[in-house]
Homo-oligomer: A and B are copies of this chain.
Amino acid sequence: MNTKNKILQVALALYNQEGIRSVTTRHIATTMGISAGNLHYHFKHTEDIILALFEQLTAAYDTIVQNLSEHPVLNLAELEAYIDSSFYLIEQYRFIFINFVELGSWIPSIRESYQKLVSKREQEFSRLFTNLVNANVFRSDIAPALLNSLVRQLFLISDFWISSNELTAQLRGEEALLIYRQDILSIFTPYLQ
């Protein structure tokens, strides 16, 4: 692996573990055994590292979405599988979700990029939902206004469940996934066929 990618890898691990507040470029450099000067040869500014990590996240999300359009969700088991894969992705880049607002105002292109991510997810969710209505998994009489609220709730839980968990139960790994999945599914529960 080349130095540039290793910087991103170590930076991600440190940001996730220690939080963006306490991780510095020197910190990243010494952890991976290179000089700070070398790190800044590869990434001129700290923001460039964070932006690159954010772009990794959106790229990974694109892959999930592409998979989803090739293999549509048709039942609850497949819905759970999709929920799980989104959980793992969010957990992998947890520092981004934990500092989303701060990062968004610090690095404006992150906010812009997030807007695009949201609209991509909205389309994807709308398709997913139509499929599940057609497959007689969901009821077909849900008002559009209510559906909008459900979509917002779904995104809010997806993006901030990790933060909430960090402050309260601090569940990890499989245990966290179980509750996360349950919380997401409970949005749908009342609207099952």
User: Can you tell how many copies of this chain the complex includes?
Assistant: 2
A191: which B residues are within 8 A, CB to CB?
190
Most chain B CB neighbours (cut-off 10 Å) among A101, A118, A155, A168:
A101
Closest CB in chain B relative to A36 CB, distance in Å? 21
Asked if A130 CB lies within 8 Å of chain B CBs, one says: no
A101-B163 contact given A118-B168, A156-B157, A168-B115, CB 8 Å threshold: yes
Contact A167 B99 (CB under 8 A): no
Over the window 76-108 of chain A, the binary record of Cβ atoms lying under 8 Å from chain B Cβ atoms (1 yes, 0 no) is 000000000000000000000011111011100
A166: which B residues are within 8 A, CB to CB?
101, 104
Contact A21 B106 (CB under 8 A): yes
